[in-house]
């Protein structure tokens, strides 16, 4: 399970973690960590450049 460190520093097996770090462990650290749920962001479609044919078609519609 993933946890977020909420204390200044936390040592686990000789590795130093700082506040805000995300760790994955099955051990119980009490109030020094809090459960972390990843937020899945939906990707917006990227704006693409209009092709020359699309631009000409749009200008033909405006002229009519």
- DSSP string across 42-53: PPPPPP-PPPHH
pTM above 0.85, yes or no: no
The predicted-structure confidence for 13-56, as pLDDT tens digits, reads as follows: 999 999 999 999 998 889 999 999 988 889 999 988 888 888 88
Annotated domain spans of the chain: 1-38
C-alpha triplet 42, 2, 29: angle, nearest 5°: 150
Burial (CB count within 10 angstroms: exposed 0-12, middle 13-18, buried 19+), residue 13: exposed
pLDDT of residue 24: 93
pLDDT of residue 64: 58
Cα separation values, 54 from 57, 58, 63, Å? 5, 6, 14
């Amino acid at each position: 399970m993933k946890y977020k460190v909420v204390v200044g520093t936390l040592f686990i097996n000789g590795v130093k973690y700082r506040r805000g770090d995300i760790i994955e462990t099955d051990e119980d650290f009490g109030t020094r960590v809090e459960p972390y749920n990843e937020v899945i962001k939906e990707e917006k479609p990227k704006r693409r450049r209009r092709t020359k044919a699309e631009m000409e078609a749009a200008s033909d519609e405006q002229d009519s």
